Amino acid sequence: MKRSWSIYNSGSGFSNANTGPGVQHNNNAAGPQYNNCNFHGSPCSVTDQEREKQEKDQQCLKHLRLTDPRDDKVRIERTKGGLLQDSYRWVLNNADFQQWRDDLQHRLLWIKGDPGKGKTMLLCGIINELDQGDTANARHCNVAYFFCQATDSRINNGTAVLRGLIYLLIDQQPSILSHVQSEYNRAGEDLFKDVNTWDALSRIFTNILRDPSFRTTYLVIDALDECVTIDLPQLLDLIAQ
């Protein structure tokens, strides 16, 4: 239940009363004044508070960002000669894919094949369809993805996967930043780089998925076999949950 508080200046102190809609400011006696000022008597404004919050949010996102998976996708498509629609559109008519996309009870689709068979470009095409096609428009859903690469230490571990997914999810649904910010306010940048980072991020990720306001979301992870660090089993367990 939402509550509106009225604040009365009652001498040398103040009292709070839940009196209904609106906020009232009375300055009829000595003591701290609450009409457009803070406890120190200096002017304050919602704009300043909003600016401070924005700066804190941007700092948190800056430290969270290890890579932008959208840039990785562009780079991969460019280095592989571009994405051809005919190379992936066949999967849109595949029964297993359609069941995964449309049936919320079937939440996991595993695509496997030998190296060099085009799995990464297939996933790039699937991401495009989910992100830009009728599915995204009709359901107003989130689409987050990550591309693992064994030769790049930034993106070859489970912690990096979570950081990339969370980064994209926040970009699409900014309200969920609060799940990261609450932990970041206590730990600062160490939240993303100390020995407990996996445990903290997996907890944050789980809380995001359980958020009642969280929209329908598609998560795509490419090249799990190139996730070469010891946290791969933990990542697989998290995916399977």
Radius of gyration of the chain from its Cα atoms, rounded to whole angstroms: 24
Question: What is the per-residue burial (b if ≥16 Cβ within 10 Å, else e) of 127-138?
Answer: bbbbbeeebbee
| pLDDT > 90 in the chain, percent | 63
Give the tens place of pLDDT for each residue, 111-155: 999 988 999 999 999 999 998 866 555 568 999 999 999 999 999
pLDDT at 10 over 50: no
Q: Tokens for 114, please give them.
A: 């030998």
Neighbours of 84 (CB within 10 A): 11
Q: Residue for token digits 């890579």?
A: 67
Asked whether the beta carbons of 99 and 106 are under 8 A apart, the reply is yes
* 107 Rama sector, left if φ>0, alpha if ψ -120 to 50, beta otherwise: alpha
Give the tens place of pLDDT for each residue, 216-240: 999 999 999 999 888 889 999 998 8
